[in-house]
Structure 1
Amino acid sequence: MSAEILDKEDVARAWIGEAFAPTTDQWAKLDRFVDMLVAENAQQNLIAASTVPTVWVRHIADSAQILSLDTREGDGLWIDLGSGPGLPGLVVAILSARPMLLVESRKRRCDFLRAVASDLGLAHVEVAEAPLERVETRPATTISARAFAPLDKLLDLSARFSTESTRWLLPKGRNAVKELALLPQPWQRMFHVEQSRTDADSQILVGTGKIVAKQRGKR
């Protein structure tokens, strides 16, 4: 049986409570992040204005579910590609102690990411203000990307950060199966599809392993 879709704000908050048992401090940080996100959205387009009334469903729970797919303990680096307003990266950083690298090339968004990390005391968050191609290579325990690039390009660009145990968490909306089917077989076999908890029509690609770049055409 598929999991219940989190379609209301109170339902989304209740699920976060059940799934992660946030401390009082973590709840306060999530609330503060929401306030900062909505306020900044009036200054720059971080999220669709139509999603503000359902921000807990569309953005906070939607990001938290990514963490629920990789709850490994330890201090392995989590890299969030094209982090934008910190979704899912800042939500994961609030709910876990994992070292977090937020990769974002747009200056105003990086300024916002740094402001939130500073305001919330998220010392384990680092912001890389650069295109991914210019980010120093380092091994990632987890790689996430909520809205970064088409799947084959995403994997090619981020392959150098992966190891045999890297966990890939890639929300792909309604195109997950289609994008996966277009990959060369060595990449296809690494992934499976998970249903999104916040949208009945959306899916998340989940995989584990090292990507070897430039495998296109090797089927």
Structure 2
Amino acid sequence: MISNEDDARAFVAARGDDSALERIEALIAALREENQRQNLVSSGSLDHVWQRHIADSAQLLDHVPRETSPWMDLGSGAGFPGLVIAAIRPDSRILLVESRKRRIEWLESMIDRLALANCTVAGMRLEAVAAFEARVITARAFAPLEKLLRLSARFSTDDTVWLLPKGRSAGVELQGIGKKWQKLFHVEQTATDPEAAILVGKGTVKGKSAA
């Protein structure tokens, strides 16, 4: 379990090269500056930014092979986990879905600043995004689980991996969906918070969630 900023930075460093760390450092610096203009993340979390936001995002990489692509990050907001994944894995295509104007501007500015040619923003509601086959779907704080799955079902295939950090509510949310979808998922402990979990799944969720 990661318990401090040094551990968190080392955790991230083990999953990327020096260039990736330089991009992450630049992202953190820009986040601190931008957070004074708009509330991208809670100000208190910036004191533990490597643990709370960077390592918390980077740990999702451990659940899929390196070459897995494309990723789809729902409700990217400040860029977690999507921007972090893109910064560490420049060989993977990442689509950030975000509908809020100022968040879209922030994400696009960071893609330019970090020269992330592998990363693009769909600046619209998820319902308006053209369907494609996503190999990985992530969402850190997008919607309750059943709604999230229903809205993103058309992007899923039998090979899609779902990586959904759900904090303390993971188990409860999983029990709240139909058995047909439940069997695709399991709960895994996060590396950054002893009370938080990730819902990890594989497969398509097309159709109804009822058993």
For this structure pair, what is the TM-score category when the shorter chain's length is used for normalisation? over 0.9
2:154 matched residue in structure 1: 160
Give 1:17 shift.
Answer: 2.1
2:65 counterpart SS class: coil
Alignment pair present for 1:77 and 2:73: no
2:82 matched residue in structure 1: 89
Distance 1:67 1:120 in 2: 19
2:199 counterpart SS class: strand
1:170 counterpart SS class: strand
Q: Which shifted more, 181-190 or 62-71?
A: 62-71
Give 1:169 shift.
Answer: 0.2
TM-score (norm 1): 0.93
Alignment pair present for 1:14 and 2:14: no
Residue from 115, 124, 128 that aligns with 2:118: 124
2:3 counterpart SS class: coil
Structure 2's unaligned 5+ residue stretches are none
TM-score (norm 2): 0.97
The size of the alignment, in residue pairs, is: 210
Give 1:163 shift.
Answer: 0.5
1:111 matched residue in structure 2: 105
Alignment pair present for 1:210 and 2:204: yes
Distance 1:71 1:115 in 2: 29
Distance 2:29 2:78 in 1: 13
Give 1:23 shift.
Answer: 2.0
1:33 matched residue in structure 2: 27
CA RMSD in angstroms, aligned pairs only: 1.0
- Identical columns (%): 47
- Any idea what the Cα deviations from partners look like across 1:72-127, whole Å, max 9, x if unmatched? 424x2100000001100010001112100000000111101011110111011110
Distance 2:45 2:75 in 1: 19
Distance 1:23 1:73 in 2: 16
Residue from 92, 96, 102 that aligns with 1:102: 96
1:152 counterpart SS class: helix
- Any idea what the Cα deviations from partners look like across 1:31-60, whole Å, max 9, x if unmatched? 000001111111111100110110000000
2:176 matched residue in structure 1: 182
Distance 2:122 2:169 in 1: 28
- Any idea what the Cα deviations from partners look like across 1:123-150, whole Å, max 9, x if unmatched? 1111011010111111100000000000
Alignment pair present for 1:54 and 2:48: yes
1:47 counterpart SS class: coil
Give 1:25 shift.
Answer: 1.4
Give 1:71 shift.
Answer: 2.8
Residue from 112, 126, 131 that aligns with 1:137: 131
Structure 1's unaligned 5+ residue stretches are none
Distance 1:110 1:71 in 2: 29
